[in-house]
């Protein structure tokens, strides 16, 4: 059990972030979570405190550089140090690129990619001091782009490249960098996905009950953290998808297209 160790988890009020917050709290970490919705933030913090854990909630927009700086500064002020940063906050989208407002593309990149960069930038001096861990929540979309999700795929590919370069920079500095790439997980990310004009999709096109749970993902992340794993892709299906994409990319283009064309209300049209 860690003694007086502290973890920041961005987007910690729902899904994988919430599951990570609860798991890391149960392992003895002081927990700092961020989110835009103050009511949900307060509810989750109170739940953690009611379970006997040390927790702090800070309202912050994931895309805000000033917000990232504020979160790190308040964490150090309250808990005196930082040992783990989990960059989880993110947003998805679902629209054909030709129909997509570029403001939506930029919003997805700002939240998913630049939000991650901002938090790492301000947290890094403290993680170097503690020989801590940075965990990036990527996606199978960071290894295989999917149609109607161009901005989301781009943001996750960017995350993968950023963390690979950063990990190499920190190779002899004592900071562990782990990138977790879940497949479809039963969270609200598809319900909150943005459409072509930036409106919230509202209803998931997938059967959420058949997916890996956020709690299962959080446990794999924690085990990877303890073992100092470099990164992993979750679910055998996603592993094979990534593997085959390297060897038969043209075939995978057709397979991915056909699968996503069969989604409910898909922007794609199957042949």
Q: Among residues 119, 122, 152, 222, which one is catalytic?
A: 152
Q: Which residues of 148-184 are buried (b: 16+ CB within 10 A; e: fewer)?
A: bbbbbbbbbbbbbebbeebbeebeeeebbbbbbbbbb
* Pair of tokens at residue 251: 């075939």
DSSP state of 174: T
* 152 part of the active site: yes
> Could you tell me if 34 and 63 are in contact, meaning their C-beta atoms sit under 8 angstroms apart?
no
Residue 271 and residue 264: Cα distance in Å, rounded?
16
CA distances in angstroms from 68 to 85, 118, 158, 224, listed in the order given: 11, 6, 19, 25
As annotated, the active-site residues are: 152
């Amino acid at each position: 059990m860690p003694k007086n160790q502290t973890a920041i988890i961005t987007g910690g009020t729902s899904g994988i972030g919430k599951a990570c917050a609860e798991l890391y709290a149960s392992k003895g970490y002081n927990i700092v979570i961020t989110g835009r919705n103050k009511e949900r933030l307060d509810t989750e913090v109170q739940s953690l405190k009611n379970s006997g854990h040390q927790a702090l909630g800070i309202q912050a927009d994931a895309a805000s550089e000033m917000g990232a700086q504020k979160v790190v500064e308040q964490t150090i002020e309250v808990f005196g140090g930082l040992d783990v940063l989990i960059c989880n906050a993110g947003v998805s989208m679902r629209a054909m690129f030709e129909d997509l407002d570029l403001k939506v593309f930029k919003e997805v990149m700002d939240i998913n990619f630049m939000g991650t960069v901002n938090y790492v930038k301000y947290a890094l001096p403290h993680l170097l001091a503690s020989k801590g861990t940075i965990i990036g929540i990527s996606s199978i979309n960071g290894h295989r782009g999917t149609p109607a999700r161009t901005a989301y795929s781009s943001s996750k590919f960017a995350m993968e490249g950023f963390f690979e370069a950063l990990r190499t920079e920190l190779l002899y500095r004592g900071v562990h960098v782990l990138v977790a790439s879940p497949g479809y997980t039963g969270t609200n990310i598809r319900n909150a996905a943005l459409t072509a004009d930036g409106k919230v999709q509202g209803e998931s096109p997938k059967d959420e009950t058949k997916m890996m749970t956020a709690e299962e993902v959080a446990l794999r992340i924690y085990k990877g953290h303890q073992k100092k794993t470099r990164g992993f892709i979750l679910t055998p299906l996603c592993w094979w998808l990534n593997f085959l994409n390297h060897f038969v990319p043209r075939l995978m283009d057709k397979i991915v297209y056909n699968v996503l064309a069969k989604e409910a209300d898909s922007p794609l049209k199957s042949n």
